[in-house]
């Protein structure tokens, strides 16, 4: 049986995914996936994979968060709104 981190890497190698969608597919809570997700991404980068992150952004004002944030922020620093799109993460081979 593959570990959670290997399952995360497998899921991320197909389509961009959010932490919530990964948690749903693995039957876990979003908070439980965040630590494994950041570790899996670091491992993938050291193995030569390219990590593509579509940053989180505010649904109200359009503020775009940095691509280094893999989990959903709580509030927008610009308008203080809490309606946010989660960041999406995808793994690609370094050659692509």
Query: Which tens digits make up the pLDDT trace of 12-32?
Result: 998 999 999 999 999 998 888
* Ordered domains of the chain (ranges, CATH): 4-92 (1.10.10)
Query: What pTM was computed for the model?
Result: 0.84
pLDDT-derived band at 96, boundaries 50, 70, 90: very low
CA distance 52 to 75: 23
Distances (CA, A) of 82 to 36, 67, 75: 25, 18, 5
pLDDT of residue 32: 86
Query: Which tens digits make up the pLDDT trace of 31-90?
Result: 889 889 989 989 999 988 899 999 999 999 999 999 888 888 999 999 999 999 999 999
CA distance 62 to 8: 28
């Amino acid at each position: 049986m593959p570990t959670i981190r290997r399952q995360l890497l497998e899921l991320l190698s197909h389509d961009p995914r959010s932490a919530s969608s990964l948690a749903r597919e693995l039957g876990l809570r979003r908070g439980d996936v965040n630590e494994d997700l950041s570790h899996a991404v670091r491992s993938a980068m050291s193995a030569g994979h390219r990590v593509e992150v579509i940053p989180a952004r505010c649904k109200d004002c359009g503020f775009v968060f940095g691509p280094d944030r893999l989990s959903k922020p709580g509030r927008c620093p610009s308008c203080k709104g809490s309606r946010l799109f989660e960041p999406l993460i995808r793994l690609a081979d370094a050659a692509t």
